[in-house]
Amino acid sequence: MVCNRSPPFLSLPMEVIIMVFEHLLNLKTLSSFVVDTTQASIDDYRRTSNVIEKKTLPFSIFALEDFQSFGRKTVYLPRDETRLKVTPIQDAAARGKEDVVAILLKSSNLNDRHQDASALSLALYSGNVHVAELLLNRGARPGCGRLINSLHAAARHGLNGEIELFVKFHGMDVDIEDKDGETPVMHALRLPEDQASETIRLLFKLGARIDLEIGERSWTYSALARLMGMHMLADELAAGVLEEAAGEAADDRSSSCTMDVER
């Protein structure tokens, strides 16, 4: 026997059926609304993407500012913030907002030579490597930035692959200084001791000088490490142990048949 049953749709309350039909009739209007509002947002991004404002970033960038003098004594007092002029894409990169960065890329100048710190540098300095990879793939240059650049940032987080990429492929000076005269080695000193040792050894292998003096008070790397409480690392730096180890590693590498990995 054939059972005649009404479609489930018709069993809904009449008010709901009317609402559904009204929604279907308004789909064209809704589509236009989405398109128009999206275009308006894009236009706003283009107008405001390079606006600069001073913001407090939740991490310390310039290491020498963490050393405070009390009479003849110097104490290491790490800070946890930095005031910096940023654009929206730089702010988004520092906060790890990859989707926002992707949207702002179309209307932002990644390599403006007048910027204090590039979006790439801030992404690396805040540890947002996924955002940094996006920016590099879209043409960000690691040497940009008046106050700091991406090699300093990579050294700060022990990103050894990025360090080699910036020095070997982009030709960056391994002893390049930031606004305070800090080198990548100095930024690497802020890592935990074992990781700092590994990254500094790499920087020496890439040609960094161990005898440089940092800042107005002409600090040696060894003296700075000791003030930061890393006594074993300070001893190794004073004795040139890391530099010797880097030289031996370079000799071993040059005599091997291992192919360099391209990035």
Confidence grade of residue 6 (pLDDT, cut at 50, 70, 90): low
- Residues 112-139: pLDDT tens digits? 989 999 999 999 999 999 999 999 999 9
Residues 6+ apart with CB under 8 A from 204: 185, 210, 242, 243, 246, 247
Highest CATH level, class, for 52-254: mainly alpha
pLDDT of residue 134: 98
What average pLDDT does the structure give for the chain?
85
Residue reference for tokens 């020496």: 204
pLDDT of residue 263: 36
Give the side-chain half-sphere CA count within 13 A for 111: 8
Q: Which of 80, 97, 87 is nearest to 55 (CA)?
A: 87
- Residues 8-51: pLDDT tens digits? 555 656 766 666 666 666 655 666 666 666 666 667 666 777 78
Domain boundaries, the chain: 52-254
- Residues 137-175: pLDDT tens digits? 999 999 999 999 999 999 999 999 999 999 999 999 999
* Amino acid sitting at position 50: N
**Whether 74 contacts 227, CB under 8 Å:** yes
3-state helix, strand, coil in the chain (%, to 5): 55, 10, 40
Backbone angles phi, psi at 18, to 5 degrees: -65, -40
**Whether 73 contacts 46, CB under 8 Å:** no
- Residues 172-214: pLDDT tens digits? 999 999 999 999 999 999 999 999 999 999 999 999 999 999 9
pLDDT of residue 215: 86
